Amino acid sequence: MRRIYLDHGATTPLDPRVLDEMLPYLREVFGNPSSAHAFGREAREGVEKARIRVARALNADPREIVFTSGGSEANYLAVRGAAYANRDRGNHIVASRIEHHSVLDTCLDLAEHGYEVSWVPVNEDGIVDPRKVAALLRPTTILVTVMLANNEVGTIQPVREIAALARERGVLCHTDAVQGFGKMAVDVQNLGVDMLSISAHKIYGPKGAGALYLRAGTRWQPLNHGGGQEARRRPGTENVPGIVGLGAAAALAVAELEHETAQVRVLRDRLVSEVLRRIPGARLSGHPVRRVPHNAHFCFEGVAGGALLAGLDAAGVAVSAASACAAGSGTPSHVLQAMGFADELAAGALRVTLGRGNTAADVDLFVETLERLVEKARQKAPSSGRN
Ligand SMILES: Cc1ncc(COP(=O)(O)O)c(C=O)c1O
């Protein structure tokens, strides 16, 4: 059976060019980057080259890059590190309702420990209005965190505008760029953010590697102690092959951004128009154009997304019923809830995220299979209705 992978929002395959760059660091270059001998220096060189590449990809200074175990840790370090370091200035955090759980749950935990969190709503297209952020700022606000691109519906948030108004008020701004980086230009100077998170495995790099951009001079404090690595910001012996892979993947993501986004956009647009044309009661969620080019997200009236996912999986097609992290949790997506979707409609959600390896034939096979499955599901439950 031909298998088709349409879940690049969950993770991406390792690019063979990235693997080639990592292999020496999994084989012969095994030194500890902190060791004061040639073995250590070789490993250190790999880490520092990756730091330069990541910094260049984000238009940052290499000293502003902190390597982490992935996007979740970068988010966690950003939010909690800023909250603790600015406690003397205030205790108020502003976060969007559609953040990834690594931001959301960190904020919820802080709210149980003396911080106050205001949640910025999104409109029915899943977009934050910067004026609503401005209205929530108080003299005690210390941090605003709004993601660059949403992991479920792919909407692109006005982070530049949000960062500008935070800066005007002397408030730090963090953005989770895990789903935006590699799909759109990400320039920390242009965005004007103080902190930004990325993850290697969403950009054809290895799992377990990511980075936090931490603007020089940002009032922030580390959460872990006991090692001098990452300029004392994130102790622990570095994941050298992972970091090298992140550097290689980031460089490729930027070099191939234009070509790749143009290619997936054509495929995604074909997929969206075919699904909407052929499947009655199908609805595209999120903003029609302000979304990352590889993302399509649908709801199907009267059909459970989980059943479609299982049917597609049996046919060899991998998609997601929500984001990878919410999938299987059985709870309705907080993103769709924030967008005002009724639970019944949200239950029919299907996220399709295209990638480098996909072709028009993949899209056509997906649409055919989906059409068949939706029809079958509706025949089984005719009373669930489409109108
Ligand atoms: C928006 C967003 N932020 C953070 C993460 C977490 O990244 P990682 O898997 O590297 O911890 C994800 C992963 O799904 C994500 O989609």
Please write the tens of the pLDDT for every residue from 166-209. 999 999 999 999 999 999 999 999 999 999 999 999 999 999 99
Angle between the 240-255 and 16-26 helix axes, to the nearest 10 degrees?
Answer: 160
- C-alpha 130 chain-centroid distance: 20
Residue 142 and residue 171 in contact, taking contact as beta carbons nearer than 8 Å: yes
Instruction: Give the SS3 label for residue 328.
Output: coil
Average of pLDDT values for 309-317? 95
Q: 145: buried, middle or exposed (CB in 10 Å: 19+, 13-18, 0-12)?
A: buried
- What would the pLDDT profile of 7-54 be if each residue is shown by its tens digit? 999 999 999 999 999 999 999 999 999 999 999 999 999 999 999 999
Higher pLDDT: 224 or 344? It is 224
Question: In the prediction, which pLDDT does 330 show?
Answer: 59
Question: In the prediction, which pLDDT does 325 show?
Answer: 41
Q: Is the CB of 155 under 6 A from ligand 1?
A: no
Q: What is the DSSP letter of 149?
A: B
Domain assignments of the chain as residue spans, ordered by start: 4-12+257-384, 16-255
pLDDT at 381 over 90: no
Average of pLDDT values for 116-144? 98
Residue 107 and residue 79 in contact, taking contact as beta carbons nearer than 8 Å: yes
Q: What percent of the chain has pLDDT over 70?
A: 96
Q: What percent of the chain has pLDDT over 90?
A: 88
pLDDT at 385 over 90: no
Angle between the 257-278 and 240-255 helix axes, to the nearest 10 degrees?
Answer: 80
Question: In the prediction, which pLDDT does 387 show?
Answer: 34
Residues 6 or more apart whose CB falls under 8 angstroms from that of 99 comprise 107, 145, 146, 147, 176
Find the 199 Cα to ligand 1 centroid distance in Å: 7
Q: 119: buried, middle or exposed (CB in 10 Å: 19+, 13-18, 0-12)?
A: middle
Question: In the prediction, which pLDDT does 306 show?
Answer: 82
107 part of the active site:
no
Find the 74 Cα to ligand 1 centroid distance in Å: 9
Question: In the prediction, which pLDDT does 321 show?
Answer: 85
What phi and psi values does residue 366 have, to the nearest 5 degrees?
Answer: -60, -50
CATH no., domain 4-12+257-384: 3.90.1150.10
Q: How far apart are CA 275 and CA 52, in angstroms?
A: 42
- From the list 209, 118, 121, 128, the residue with the least C-alpha distance to 171 is 118
Q: Is the CB of 178 under 6 A from ligand 1?
A: yes
Find the 206 Cα to ligand 1 centroid distance in Å: 13
Q: Is the CB of 68 under 6 A from ligand 1?
A: no
Higher pLDDT: 344 or 291? It is 291
Please give the number of the atom of ligand 1 that sits closest to the Cα of 208: 10
pLDDT at 326 over 80: no
Question: In the prediction, which pLDDT does 309 show?
Answer: 92
Higher pLDDT: 381 or 86? It is 86
Average of pLDDT values for 42-69? 98
Find the 113 Cα to ligand 1 centroid distance in Å: 24
Q: Is the CB of 199 under 6 A from ligand 1?
A: yes
Please give the number of the atom of ligand 1 that sits closest to the Cα of 323: 14
With bands split at pLDDT 50, 70 and 90, how would you rate the model's confidence at 378? confident
Residue 76 and residue 124 in contact, taking contact as beta carbons nearer than 8 Å: no
- From the list 385, 376, 368, 365, the residue with the least C-alpha distance to 3 is 365
pLDDT at 322 over 70: no
Question: In the prediction, which pLDDT does 239 show?
Answer: 98
pLDDT at 249 over 90: yes
pLDDT at 329 over 70: no
Q: Is the CB of 72 under 6 A from ligand 1?
A: yes
pLDDT at 386 over 50: no
What phi and psi values does residue 212 have, to the nearest 5 degrees?
Answer: -115, 125
- From the list 340, 272, 347, the residue with the least C-alpha distance to 306 is 347
Q: CA-CA distances (angstroms) from residue 165 to 130, 141, 150, 160, 191?
A: 8, 12, 21, 9, 12
CATH no., domain 16-255: 3.40.640.10
* β-strand pairing of 210-214 with 65-68: antiparallel
